[in-house]
Amino acid sequence: MQRLFSLGLAALGVVAALLLAPTLATAAETDAVAIVRAVPEYHLGSGDKVRVITFGEEALTGEFSIGGSGMVSLPLIGEVRAAGLSVSQFQSQVETKLKEGYLKEPRVSVEVLNYRPFYILGEVEKPGTYPYTNGLTVLNAVATAQGFTYRANTKRVFIKRADGKGEEEFPLTTGTQVAPGDTIRVGERFF
């Protein structure tokens, strides 16, 4: 009888472990997701190059660079602020300026051709400035910089956003995203 009772308790323990395992895994996954870096909506800045297409108006269509002052010089409407605006906000601003006495119902499309570069320093083989590409992760950035040095801490990374105050620490995973203008620092391991 006692043997049956012991087997029953063991079976109950196994069932409980199986039922709790997904909950424990979900909690661990939730913690990992909380640490993952969220890259906010992209905002234009000096050094970006944009293509502005005004449908039906070839003379108002072209590729333009955002200057150091954050302004873009467009035909007909002149200087338009771009720095700090999302692509859709800039597009709306150009449409509004064109409506002010130039076109009745302008249809404008804006796309980013070249993003600001990212910077990588610390324990990588070739620290420096590199061109940004959509979907860039920290591991892609390290690969662009020719890989880690032998002293690199491959567990964490420090990232300073272009519009941020200071560095933030993130786990060095395949999902850690980089934004244009970010400065990535790979630290040194102690052992």
Structure confidence by residue, pLDDT tens digits, 140-160: 999 999 999 999 999 999 999
| Residues 115, 52: Cα–Cα separation, whole Å | 15
Write out the chain in H/E/C secondary structure.
CHHHHHHHHHHHHHHHHHHHHHHHHHHHHHHHHHHCCCCCCCECCCCCEEEEEECCCHHHCEEEECCCCCEEEECCCEEEECCCCEHHHHHHHHHHHHHCCCCCCCCEEEEEEECCCEEEEECECCCEEECCCCCCEHHHHHHHCCCECCCECCCEEEEECCCCCCCEEEECCCCCECCCCCEEEECECCC
Q: Find residue 79's DSSP bridge partners.
A: 73
Residue 53, φ and ψ in degrees, nearest 5: -115, 120
pLDDT computed for residue 188 by the predictor: 93
The yes-or-no verdict on residue 50 having pLDDT over 90 is yes
Where on the phi/psi map is residue 122: left (φ > 0), alpha (ψ -120 to 50), or beta? left
Per-residue confidence (pLDDT) for residue 186, from 0 to 100 = 96
Cut 0.75: pTM above it: no
pLDDT over 90, % of the chain? 60
pLDDT tens-digit series, residues 71-121: 999 998 999 999 999 999 999 999 999 999 889 999 999 999 999 999 999
Contact present, 136 and 158 (Cβ < 8 Å): no
Under a CB-based contact definition with an 8 Å cutoff, are residues 41 and 17 in contact? Answer: no
